[in-house]
Amino acid sequence: MTDLIPELRTPTADAGTGHVKTGTSVSRIDGRDKVTGAARYAAEFAADGLANEVANELLHGVVVNSSITKGRIVSFDTSAALAQPGVIEVITYLNRPKMRSFDLFYKDMTAPGGAPFRPLYDEQIVSNAQPVALVVAETFEAARHAAALVIVHYEEEAHETGLLNYLSRPHKPKGFKAGYSPPPDEKGHAEQAWQDADCKIEGEYYSGVEHHNPLELFASTVIRSADGHLTIYDKTQSSQNSRWYVSRVFGLSRSEVTVRNPYVGGAFGAGLRPQYQLPLAVMASLMLQRSVRVVMTRQQMFTFGHRPETWQRLKLAASRDGVLQSIAHDAVAETSRFEDYVEVVVNWSGQLYACENIRLGYQLVDLDQFSPMDMRAPGAAHGVHALEVAMDELSYQVGIDPLALRLKNYAESNPMDDLPYSTKELRACYAQGAERFGWNARPLAPRSRKEGTEWVGWGMATGIWDAMQMFARASAVLHADGRLVVSSAATDIGTGTYTVMATIAAEEMGLPLEHVAFQLGDSTLPVAPIEGGSSHVATVGSAVQGACEKLKKTLFKLAKQLPDSPFPKARFADVEFVDGHVRLRRTQETGIALAALLKAAETSRVEEKYLLLPNMLKQKKYVRAVHSAVFCEVRVDEEFGTVRVTRVVSAVAAGRIINTKTAASQVSGAVVWGISQALHEETQMDHALGRFMNHNLGEYHVAVNADIHDIDVIFVQEDDRIVSRLGAKGVGEIGIVGVAAAISNAIYHATGKRVRSTPITPDKVMC
């Protein structure tokens, strides 16, 4: 790993280097490598140094995608492609390497579980732009040119695409997916309570398809050694997940495959499963016994999954003074023909507000489209949007300020089962966010303020997301020169994992940050879960702290065993680790430097490992969640329908914050994505073709610098020792939840126009 991730980096701490504590602001350890180009990503590793061993250079693969949506392949004509100079092979389902049974090893084999798409499996076409061939050549240019010459003959069948066209045939999800909880049973009698209520609202909500567009394209570089070992550099959120997948499908032992992902240029759910470029690259490498790279194009980034198109109906009822009497929330989402992709969409409506009558429903519609996939805050990003827009609408119905309505219905325990929260500082989020924003100056009536040609509106919404913890191992090694190297097969998708884990270790061991390195991104390192669900700090961070705690105890035992030990009668509780020393707490002059301790013990290194297992018996007694309150200001030009989000305040309660700088960066970035979700992002399909048409960054609109103005992030003090031994929860996904709803509500306050679908484009504002 030292060739990829230097063991020691000099961090740039805002308060200078040296001893740092969690909860302070520390710049990214890997920042310099990224901005100078020293950091290498999946498509940037070459077979340099191996060329002499394998007597070949790196080959390049380019994927050929289907031009139909449903049917079967009748035949291929690859003659023109194979005749091109430099072309080595065209791989299809007809000549691919033999693999283990797809049915046995694909289904439920990856995290998240399900039935992942099987590239080049057979002649069946199940979605438009499905990969049907891989052209492999000596150069990328030759492979790309030859790929355009491959002719595929199809027998086409009628297809069904577009959720709204088939809402009449939904079904309940089949099977099980880790992390998915079906809606709980009805509480009370929601429909009757809605019918009997004095004040009630009902609305339909629609969110279109969104596609992940991280800066780094999905890529896999497979480097084959002379002994047949495959070292794979993959764009993934888990090196071990990709290694497990490859070894099972291709019948390879663990010792034959190493997967590395030292740097990942954004993923946000797209990298939870191995995408199809990985098995295609491995197929080619095994078949040709060469090193191979396969990189998706930007257009192909639109072919392997997306945030699902979702339709919702939400009904709220309340007494005249604003006390909720009924919540009924139904959702129907798309899935593919080959698996039931599921999300937690409606359950949030049973968690946020106190109510005696709650009914929740979630169903799917099978379509001839690729499976949707997890995309930042899956389910919550659009499920909470519907609830929070409905709550805003209800506030006008009962004549109460939107924030006051939420406080009136604040849930002190989980409404569906009365379980307590592990921690919940949502009231403080409301209070601190409102004060920072100046909410008390907001007029209640819409269309109350106009500046020039723009109507000004203020809106707010609540956010909620799970506070998850998984299992992980970590290793901590103290070297004789005082360096500490901590390792786990974690992933950094740009969230600051390198820096946060090093900070946790440095604080626990009492070492300067520049003496600590955290190694990740290698499947040979101690086991770690996928980087998803905003769980990495609570999980891997706790394992890192545990490993360092064990290491301290081992070092203390070594110190006690020295002939002239400074701690002959001391207990572990009597000592502390500070500034590279272990010393007595009460007599701080009594101690020994860690480097001197290892020298005296005649050892070059001391290592300890720790397995973090969540205390499920304890955790299941609580509802574990992160919360937020989002306040925003919009300015709407009514004639043109253009919307500017000029101010956002996001107040977040997410346990102890380990690094305020990287955490605030995550939340502000998520707010940007929320603005993009609210106003810009939607992938448009031509249903006659069954094909996404705006599959590029010129026509798939995302927020750009000119769309983003003031974003203010507040972290409310919270310490949750139920979720993690660190007291930390996740901060990544909570930042997007509620943002689109707050913007929608602000648009109504500005214009009096209620828009219940996203994105809120100018035509919807003007109509």
Give pTM, 2 decimals.
0.95
Nearest by Cα to 186 from 33, 358, 304: 358
Q: Report the mean per-residue pLDDT for the chain.
A: 94
Both tokens assigned to 196: 């009997």
Distance CA 518, CA 389 (A): 43
> Are residue 296 and residue 320 in the same domain, yes or no?
yes
Of 368, 395, 413, which residue constitutes the final position of a domain? 368
Q: Predicted confidence band at 103 (pLDDT cuts at 50, 70, 90)? A: low
Looking at the domain assignment, is residue 8 inside a domain?
no
Residue 413: C-alpha distances to residues 55, 82, 417, 621, 623 (Å):
66, 66, 8, 12, 8
Q: Return the C-alpha torsion angle 314, 315, 319, 322, nearest 10.
A: 10
Structure confidence at residue 260 (pLDDT): 98
> Are residue 84 and residue 35 in the same domain, yes or no?
no
Distance CA 713, CA 735 (A): 9
C-beta of residue 504 within 8 angstroms of C-beta of residue 726: yes
Distance CA 179, CA 214 (A): 24
Question: How many domains, in total, are found in the chain?
Answer: 3
> Are residue 545 and residue 676 in the same domain, yes or no?
no
> Are residue 309 and residue 402 in the same domain, yes or no?
no
* Ramachandran quadrant class, 418 (left: phi over 0; alpha: psi -120 to 50; beta: rest): left
Provide the domain limits for residue 561.
Answer: 31-39+470-613
Does residue 752 sit in helix, strand or coil? coil
Residues 372-387: tens digit of each pLDDT: 999 999 999 999 999 9
The DSSP-derived string for 569-633 is: S--GGGEEEETTEEEESS-TTSEEEHHHHHHHTT-SEEEEEEEE---HHHHTTSB-EEEEEEEEE
Mean pLDDT over 144-171 rounds to: 98
Distance CA 41, CA 271 (A): 14
Residues 89-101: tens digit of each pLDDT: 999 999 999 887 6
Residues 478-506: tens digit of each pLDDT: 999 999 999 999 999 999 999 999 999 99
Residue 8 has pLDDT above 50, yes or no: no
> Are residue 394 and residue 485 in the same domain, yes or no?
no
Q: Predicted confidence band at 179 (pLDDT cuts at 50, 70, 90)? A: confident
Residue 10 has pLDDT above 50, yes or no: no
- Element containing residue 403 per DSSP (H, E): helix 402-408
Structure confidence at residue 180 (pLDDT): 86
Residues 312-337: tens digit of each pLDDT: 999 999 999 999 999 999 999 999 99
Structure confidence at residue 46 (pLDDT): 87
Structure confidence at residue 9 (pLDDT): 46
Both tokens assigned to 177: 């997916």
Distance CA 554, CA 127 (A): 57
Of 613, 648, 678, which residue constitutes the final position of a domain? 613
List of E strands, 352-425 = 358-366
Looking at the domain assignment, is residue 22 inside a domain?
no
For residue 131, the cross-strand partners are 65
Q: Which residues contact 105 (CB under 8 A, 6 or more apart)?
A: 248, 249
**Strands 591-593 and 757-758, sheet pairing:** unpaired
C-beta of residue 532 within 8 angstroms of C-beta of residue 732: no
Residues 588-625: tens digit of each pLDDT: 889 999 999 999 999 999 999 999 999 999 999 999 99
C-beta of residue 274 within 8 angstroms of C-beta of residue 280: no
Looking at the domain assignment, is residue 16 inside a domain?
no
> Are residue 716 and residue 632 in the same domain, yes or no?
yes
Distance CA 291, CA 223 (A): 5
Distance CA 107, CA 110 (A): 8
Looking at the domain assignment, is residue 24 inside a domain?
no
Sheet with 472-479, side-by-side order of all strands: 516-519, 484-487, 472-479, 605-612
Residue 6 has pLDDT above 70, yes or no: no
Structure confidence at residue 153 (pLDDT): 98
Distance CA 362, CA 254 (A): 40
Nearest by Cα to 128 from 97, 166, 159: 159
Looking at the domain assignment, is residue 21 inside a domain?
no
> Max CA-CA distance within the chain?
85
Selecting among 608, 633, 718, 733, the annotated active-site residue is 733
Q: Which residues contact 554 (CB under 8 A, 6 or more apart)?
A: 606, 608
Structure confidence at residue 147 (pLDDT): 98
Structure confidence at residue 176 (pLDDT): 67
Amino acid at 188: G
Residues 403-457: tens digit of each pLDDT: 999 999 999 999 999 999 999 999 999 999 999 999 999 999 999 999 999 999 9
> Are residue 309 and residue 269 in the same domain, yes or no?
yes
Structure confidence at residue 56 (pLDDT): 56
Distance CA 616, CA 256 (A): 35
> Are residue 296 and residue 175 in the same domain, yes or no?
yes
> Can you state the angle between helices 660-679 and 739-751, rounded to 10 degrees?
50
> Are residue 499 and residue 642 in the same domain, yes or no?
no
Residues 685-718: tens digit of each pLDDT: 999 999 999 999 999 999 999 999 999 999 999 9
**In percent, how much of the chain has pLDDT > 70?**
95
Nearest by Cα to 235 from 224, 248, 222, 249: 222
> Are residue 312 and residue 346 in the same domain, yes or no?
yes
User: What residue spans of 632-681 are helical by DSSP H?
Assistant: 660-679
**In percent, how much of the chain has pLDDT > 90?**
90
> Are residue 595 and residue 550 in the same domain, yes or no?
yes
263-288 CB burial, b ≥16 within 10 A, e <16: bbbbbbbbbbbbbbbbbbbbbbbbbb
Of 349, 368, 387, which residue constitutes the final position of a domain? 368
Q: Predicted confidence band at 177 (pLDDT cuts at 50, 70, 90)? A: confident
Looking at the domain assignment, is residue 15 inside a domain?
no
Structure confidence at residue 23 (pLDDT): 85
Chain centroid offset of residue 556 CA: 39
> Are residue 35 and residue 66 in the same domain, yes or no?
no
Dihedral angle sign, alpha carbons of residues 590, 595, 601, 607: positive
Q: Predicted confidence band at 7 (pLDDT cuts at 50, 70, 90)? A: very low
C-beta of residue 130 within 8 angstroms of C-beta of residue 118: no
Give the domain CATH number at 118: 3.90.1170.50
Looking at the domain assignment, is residue 13 inside a domain?
no
Looking at the domain assignment, is residue 345 inside a domain?
yes
Give the domain CATH number at 724: 3.30.365.10
Mean pLDDT over 659-666 rounds to: 96
Residue 256 falls in the annotated catalytic set: no
